[in-house]
Structure 1
């Protein structure tokens, strides 16, 4: 039993890579590009597609749902900033868990990150399909048939536009990180400009009566909606997947995480307030391309909605691009450690990208995007993100307790209050997720456990290398 415990909780050395044979990725991203990476993964995921799911649950009080999600995300962002400065690796919370909690918990966190990145990529691709149809209808009076633009559960056969989006992002990532980062930065600037346009135009349709019956479902509805929209904060985590491709990562990554949080929180709350003020809450349920539809109603003209739909097409492209990037880099880190097959860490000599791993990841996400509805995808993403956030906060506590002298350019203020509140906030949101989501998540973790005992435990690089003793959880 002692031997098994040693294996399950063996851990890597913080701040170092496990293998000296790890393929080299190119350090090409500074603070600006890392910030654009974070904002690109975040703005768009929630704002453009989540209102139709969250407003029916919370009513006008969805504004507070965004605030709650922002506070919890903010507490966690500080924890991410400390861990990113101390352990600037590509694996995000997986790498942090491996260095503090041990191997088996790290594999479980990797499974959560697959929900956070892979499944969220599918979710936003489905939202992209909705805005594409909105733009086609406004510009040319045509729509892609429902059978070819919706999942089976939503009345269709397959969502081909969502599959096409994932394929395009995959091809761009294969070309190289520098090219992908430049394209993402340009798309982020477009989406920020258009969301400002939504705020300016949307506020002209302001009706304070839309805020009556403010919280019809009470606090349970507010926290339930917070759980639905929480997946829109994965951009904070996305920055930390670039540890091996960031310039001076110990400084630039924490700064980019804080910048991402500030920009995202301000935009989300402003857009939520304007959206509720411009449209009755009953109209949100089942509404496709919601922000575009709101502008068309407010202006009684099609052009604002067309502009926003076109911008959403561009911006959601950037979200999908970034989450696919994050997933491939997490697989890269796990493969380097031997916990997933080596194909995911094979770097092409010319592009300096993991081409095979990127194609495999893109193909899996494309299948999810083509066949599953957005509501299920969004909630699975949320619970994966929340659990990953809990692990990061816990990793801060363990790192401080067991390695008090280990340097970290950025340290969480008000320690240990901030990481403890982060854990409590995440658990508070998790408890209000639907039972089917919790059951599916447990089943997913059981599947990950089976994979660990059939593959990872035998192929781990720590099996051949000396490992540090497991850390007791304080």
Structure 2
């Protein structure tokens, strides 16, 4: 029993993790990504559907103080982002929180973290892809007056049989990923700039009709309302860690990964606060209740014309495509790292000698995500991604504290400020938001964890490279 426990909690030497960086079966990954591309990867994964729909859910909870709620959620994310930045600069590899946990907390914790990331990435990107068909329909409908039939554009359970647009956006992302990392990063950077410009366009239009009187009373629901809205909008920040999955393809990972993580969070927070302020300055806060397309509603109120909403719909289509691309990229690189450690089959670490990307890995992820998006009603499993993400964030915060104690000698290109208060607050806020989620979401999450442990003890425990070295 004691030997089994030691094996479960055995950590992987950091020097070995870093030395393996980029190496896969049959080839190695290529370092092509600049600071700008890394930053845009994180912004691309974060700035997606959330901001286009979240105001209709969050403003009724907080009133005009939604601006404060965005700042509160941003600060909550910042605690974890600073821990990610330290570990990304110290352990610059592809596995994100999975690799960080393997180096600090042991194999079983690393597996749980990796399994949480599979839930976060694979299921969330499927859920996002499902929404792409709805935005495509809205964009094409307003522009040309035609719409796709519901059976081919809605998810099962909502009048659809197969969501063809969801599969289409997954296949587009797969095509770019198979072309190469540099090509994918370039396209993503262009898409991120487009969606930021579209959101700034919204702000410019909205501020022409801004009325200060709509901001009073500023916090009608008090601090409780601000906190409730903060918990709701926090999930619009999930994805800032995407740069940490590119540790083995960054040109200068020790310098650029910490900068990209913190910079991307700053950009996203600034955009969210500006959009939130513009929106509540145009309409009385009570009118946001139940509005699914709240930004389009604001533009319709200001202009009374269709063309601004067409531009906004185009921005949403681009935003979702960017999220699908970056999140699928992150999923393949995490699986690459787990396969290299023997915890999942070797096929996931095979690298194409010509393109220098994990081709088989990408095709498998594409097939899984595409079928999930096209055929499955995600329901509670999609909601459970929130808990999985927060759990992974908490592990990273704990990992920073453990590594500072066990390896104070390590070269750190970035140090979390106000240590240990910052990572402790990161753990606290992650736990706080987790317990605020409903029991059905917890049931789905625990079921996913149980499945993960079955797979670990039936396959990963026996095939672990670390165990075979002992």
* Same fold at TM > 0.5: yes
Alignment-derived partner of residue 200 in structure 2: 196
Could you tell me which runs of 5 or more consecutive residues in structure 2 were left unpaired when the two chains were aligned.
Answer: none
Alignment-derived partner of residue 469 in structure 1: none
In structure 2, what is the Cα distance between the partners aligned to 1:361 and 1:221? 40
Equivalent pair of 1:94/1:107 in contact (CA under 8 Å): yes
Alignment-derived partner of residue 334 in structure 1: 338
Alignment-derived partner of residue 315 in structure 2: 311
In structure 1, what is the Cα distance between the partners aligned to 2:129 and 2:81? 25
Establish whether residue 156 from structure 1 lines up as the match of residue 160 from structure 2: yes
Greater Cα shift, 342-351 or 360-369 = 360-369
Secondary structure at 1:234's aligned position in 2?
A: coil
Q: Deviations over 1:363-386 (max 9, x none)?
A: 222233234568746632322221
Q: Deviations over 1:411-467 (max 9, x none)?
A: 11110010001111111111211221111111111111111101110111112113x
In structure 1, what is the Cα distance between the partners aligned to 2:119 and 2:341? 20
Q: CA deviation at 1:141?
A: 1.2
Q: CA deviation at 1:223?
A: 4.0
Alignment of structure 1 residues 122-137 onto 2, 5 Å: 122-137=126-141
In structure 2, what is the Cα distance between the partners aligned to 1:63 and 1:445? 35
Alignment-derived partner of residue 24 in structure 2: 22
Distance 1:415 1:35, change over 3 A: same
Alignment-derived partner of residue 10 in structure 2: 10
Greater Cα shift, 367-376 or 88-97 = 367-376
In structure 1, what is the Cα distance between the partners aligned to 2:379 and 2:426? 25
Alignment of structure 1 residues 70-469 onto 2, 5 Å: 70-207=74-211, 210-211=214-215, 222-281=226-285, 283-284=287-288, 287-371=291-375, 376=380, 379-466=383-470
Greater Cα shift, 240-249 or 227-236 = 227-236
Secondary structure at 1:450's aligned position in 2?
A: helix
Q: Deviations over 1:55-84 (max 9, x none)?
A: 455554443332222011111111111000
Greater Cα shift, 11-20 or 187-196 = 11-20
Q: CA deviation at 1:173?
A: 0.7
Secondary structure at 1:153's aligned position in 2?
A: coil
In structure 2, what is the Cα distance between the partners aligned to 1:360 and 1:273? 42
Q: CA deviation at 1:159?
A: 2.6
Secondary structure at 1:387's aligned position in 2?
A: helix
Secondary structure at 1:407's aligned position in 2?
A: coil
Greater Cα shift, 281-290 or 239-248 = 281-290
In structure 1, what is the Cα distance between the partners aligned to 2:204 and 2:379? 29
In structure 1, what is the Cα distance between the partners aligned to 2:387 and 2:185? 28
Distance 1:451 1:218, change over 3 A: farther
Alignment-derived partner of residue 471 in structure 1: none
Distance 1:25 1:123, change over 3 A: same
Distance 1:80 1:129, change over 3 A: same
User: TM-score w.r.t. structure 2 length?
Assistant: 0.92
Secondary structure at 1:258's aligned position in 2?
A: helix
Aligned length: 466
User: TM-score w.r.t. structure 1 length?
Assistant: 0.92
Equivalent pair of 1:148/1:156 in contact (CA under 8 Å): yes
Q: Deviations over 1:234-257 (max 9, x none)?
A: 332101000100011111111111
Equivalent pair of 2:153/2:165 in contact (CA under 8 Å): yes
Equivalent pair of 1:19/1:336 in contact (CA under 8 Å): no
Distance 1:14 1:108, change over 3 A: same
In structure 1, what is the Cα distance between the partners aligned to 2:283 and 2:151? 29
In structure 1, what is the Cα distance between the partners aligned to 2:161 and 2:324? 22
Q: Compute the RMSD of aligned alpha carbons.
A: 2.3
In structure 1, what is the Cα distance between the partners aligned to 2:282 and 2:380? 28
Equivalent pair of 1:56/1:282 in contact (CA under 8 Å): yes
Q: CA deviation at 1:158?
A: 3.4
Distance 1:447 1:53, change over 3 A: farther
In structure 2, what is the Cα distance between the partners aligned to 1:381 and 1:213? 35
In structure 1, what is the Cα distance between the partners aligned to 2:61 and 2:338? 37
